[in-house]
């Protein structure tokens, strides 16, 4: 493919001929700007999104490294998003932001449930269990223990973010709601 025929626009998705011939079967290219490798690794564009980027192996790893599932989501935003989802699902908004109608005992937000999942815990696990799991997983995936392991680094970040969510939720939770 002639260099001049390359398009540098950000119009996603990039469907172009792969290789030098226009007759070459069309193949999806990596969505990373300027990359001509086949994009066969789907990555969600944002949490809860069905839209996907398609990256090559290298750029999928890069994207994952920089992508924190829980990042930038304050408790208020999480609650709001949850309320929105409830409205959509039930056509009706219910009173409590933190009463989640999904799995769990109803006292945990969706992000908390997700965080518990990241830590490999059941939805009814208490904070002490979360702390224990977090310590164990953070240790096992720590960059000092697994230097150069991109997957472990991603797990480590997710584990840290998950614990942070649970810790904040624990602080927020009224004492009366704690199990006796
Ligand atoms: Zn790429």
List, for residues 144-153, the tens digit of each pLDDT value: 988 888 888 8
pLDDT above 80 (res 156): yes
Over residues 97-125, the mean pLDDT reads 73
Q: For residue range 9-40, what is the model confidence (pLDDT) as tens digits?
A: 444 444 554 444 444 456 788 888 788 888 88
Q: Is 105 helix (H, G, I), strand (E, B) or coil?
A: coil
Spatial contact of 71 and 161, defined as CB atoms under 8 Å apart:
yes
The C-alpha atoms of residue 22 and residue 179 are separated, in whole angstroms, by: 66
For residue 57, the CA-to-ligand 1 centroid distance in Å is 7
Spatial contact of 107 and 177, defined as CB atoms under 8 Å apart:
yes
Instruction: Convert 125-140 to b/e letters by CB count within 10 Å (16 or more is b).
Output: beeeebeebbeebbee
- The pLDDT mean for the chain works out to 72
For residue 29, the CA-to-ligand 1 centroid distance in Å is 8
Q: Model pTM greater than 0.75?
A: no
Which band of pLDDT confidence, cut at 50, 70 and 90, is reported for residue 137?
Answer: very high
**Closest-CA residue to 54 (of 18, 81, 24, 3):** 18
What residues contact residue 126 under an 8 Å CB cut-off, 6+ apart? 179
For residue 53, the CA-to-ligand 1 centroid distance in Å is 11
The C-alpha atoms of residue 160 and residue 156 are separated, in whole angstroms, by: 6
Least confident range from 36-40, 81-85, 106-110, 134-138: namely: 81-85
**Interhelix angle for 127-140 vs 150-172, to 10°?**
160
For residue 73, the CA-to-ligand 1 centroid distance in Å is 28
Q: For residue range 60-94, what is the model confidence (pLDDT) as tens digits?
A: 887 876 665 445 556 666 666 666 666 555 444 34
Q: What local confidence, expressed as pLDDT, does residue 41 receive?
A: 87
């Amino acid at each position: 493919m002639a260099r001049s025929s390359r398009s540098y626009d950000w119009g996603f998705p990039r469907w172009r001929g792969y290789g030098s011939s226009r007759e070459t079967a069309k193949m999806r290219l990596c969505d990373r700007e300027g990359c001509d490798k086949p994009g066969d690794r789907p990555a969600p564009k944002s949490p809860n999104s069905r839209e996907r980027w398609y990256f090559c192996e290298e750029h999928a790893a890069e994207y994952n490294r920089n992508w924190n599932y829980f990042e930038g989501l304050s408790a208020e935003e999480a609650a709001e998003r949850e309320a929105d989802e409830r409205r959509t699902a039930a056509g009706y908004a219910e009173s409590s932001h933190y009463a989640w109608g999904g799995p769990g005992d109803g006292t945990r937000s969706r992000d908390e449930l997700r965080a518990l999942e990241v830590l490999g815990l059941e939805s009814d696990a208490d904070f002490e269990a979360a702390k224990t799991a977090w310590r164990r997983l953070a240790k096992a995936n720590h960059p000092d223990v697994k230097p150069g392991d991109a997957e472990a680094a991603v797990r480590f970040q997710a584990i840290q973010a998950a614990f942070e969510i649970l810790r904040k939720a624990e602080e927020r939770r009224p004492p009366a709601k704690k199990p006796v």
